[in-house]
Structure 1
């Protein structure tokens, strides 16, 4: 089963399970992604991926033939990614939250700062993930601005990373509260915001976002909109349910989430990626079934109004907009 990612980059949005509209694709202005020529199966990833994708190349993963699914399943059944995850947690003296914080405050910070940034010092996989994450941010902004101007609208950017969404929101006039579990990420986001939101040519500078180092469970306040992109991948569904409920409690009108979708195919790719974790440890990766996310929202009185799928060769993310039912 050779994998070639001829997946669409269009993001169809649906209202009540019927086709509604399609976001226009937009390429990054600085880079053009050349087609991948490798026939190997890549690890599943999101912008918050657990795989050390910088180590992936055409010789890293053996080819999987079209009749090898059963054999592959047998091999995967003998692997124990949970054991590696337990060891990671023991090393930092905690669970998922501590692993995520430790990773993004240390080795993960430089890796993802580079991927989220504009440097040319990225490989094809990292560039592809940058493109995928950029599409997620772009289409989140489209979801938000479709409802009207953002001037004065309060937005909580939960898991802001280096400010990829925070800064565009501020430029549109939103009053943004941005937070991340990683102090290093928050510091970088604040630095980028000060540089990019500075007034020039007699213009009035946008309001500076409020930056805080907080995990999702510690967030408080009330906001018109809460956005949480590419964060749920770090947490199993049992914990994600509580986080989704908490985020919904902070939002007055809208909650926008992106997560790595759990399907048989994507789960298989993820398990293959776990066979080749690379030389450096990363965070754990959890996929979430859209039905489970929808069920978690329904329990707290919310429903999905729009939904879409962002795919590149190494990036897969389901994007949903929920509103009070």
Structure 2
């Protein structure tokens, strides 16, 4: 399946059956054991990044693009901390849910939510973040996405991805990443060395990194800053 077809699959999935499934996973309602494990893993990634950004002590007024924002799990707490969020997702339903959750949290004008293909994003931001998105796309398209995101980042780009390691390659089947009722779109792994090479080619260097690994959730996160 080529990149365009993967993108269409992702958009259609998260606007249909995937929306209700992942809204529950990213919420606090009842889910099955697999979904609970994925929820915990994703939240650990979000919490790790929040810890990094808060430790810097400069969130107030900082412009952040949350590319692939989902239901606002990262955007909302960052906006509450005073950052200026521009949050987008390929799924109209996800964006709508994110906006509703922000309003429920007392946030009306910030974050700014929009429906957008990641590669159509424009503007310039201090920090660009893209969490748990690259897993949906093959490496050639993922690398192009990284280059585009890097062009939007004035100072920093933060990415998370499913790392391509010997162990995870053995385990890697879509049904094992997202078994049973949690099955989603195709799951792609990416070589960390390839991603670092692309980031360095864009004038960025790795500042911090983290790995989240649960039974069904594997995510490597890299923070790259301008040299």
The TM-score bracket by the shorter chain reads over 0.9
What is aligned with 1:110?
Answer: 20
Task: Classify the secondary structure of the residue corresponding to 1:95.
Answer: helix
**Matching of residue 195 in structure 1 with residue 104 in structure 2:** yes
Task: Classify the secondary structure of the residue corresponding to 2:173.
Answer: helix
**Matching of residue 133 in structure 1 with residue 35 in structure 2:** no
Structure 1 stretches of 4+ with a deviation exceeding 6 A read 274-277
**Is the Cα contact below 8 Å between 1:262 and 1:288 reproduced in 2?**
yes
More helix by percentage: 2
Q: How does 1:292-303 map to 2 (within 5 A)?
A: 292-303=194-205
Give the number of equivalent residue pairs. 226
| Equivalent-residue separation in structure 1 for 2:214 and 2:182 (angstroms) | 24
**Matching of residue 96 in structure 1 with residue 19 in structure 2:** no
Q: How does 1:98-177 map to 2 (within 5 A)?
A: 98-119=8-29, 121-177=30-86
CA RMSD in angstroms comes to 2.0
Deviation, structure 1 residue 197: 2.3
In the TM superposition, what whole-angstrom CA distance separates every residue of 1:111-166 from its partner, at most 9, and x where no partner exists?
000000010x2111111111111111111111111211311000000000000001
Deviation, structure 1 residue 277: 6.2
Determine which of 72, 92, 95 is the counterpart of 1:183.
92
Deviation, structure 1 residue 182: 0.2
**Is the Cα contact below 8 Å between 1:162 and 1:192 reproduced in 2?**
yes
What is aligned with 1:322?
Answer: 224
Determine which of 210, 213, 220 is the counterpart of 1:311.
213
**Matching of residue 226 in structure 1 with residue 128 in structure 2:** yes
Deviation, structure 1 residue 321: 0.3
In the TM superposition, what whole-angstrom CA distance separates every residue of 1:250-272 from its partner, at most 9, and x where no partner exists?
01111111111111111111137
Task: Classify the secondary structure of the residue corresponding to 1:306.
Answer: strand
Gap change, CA 1:263 and 1:162, over 3 Å in 2: same
**Is the Cα contact below 8 Å between 1:170 and 1:207 reproduced in 2?**
no
Deviation, structure 1 residue 225: 0.3
**Is the Cα contact below 8 Å between 2:34 and 2:182 reproduced in 1?**
no
| Equivalent-residue separation in structure 2 for 1:233 and 1:322 (angstroms) | 19
What is aligned with 1:46?
Answer: none
Unpaired runs of 5+ residues, structure 1, are 1-85, 199-205
The two structures have a TM-score, normalised by structure 2, of 0.94
Please identify the structure whose Cα radius of gyration is greater: 1
Larger relative CO (CA 8 A, sep 6+): 1 or 2? 1
In the TM superposition, what whole-angstrom CA distance separates every residue of 1:67-113 from its partner, at most 9, and x where no partner exists?
xxxxxxxxxxxxxxxxxxx4xx8xxxx51110000000001000000
**Is the Cα contact below 8 Å between 2:177 and 2:216 reproduced in 1?**
no
| Equivalent-residue separation in structure 1 for 2:87 and 2:11 (angstroms) | 16
Task: Classify the secondary structure of the residue corresponding to 2:172.
Answer: helix
Unpaired runs of 5+ residues, structure 2, are none
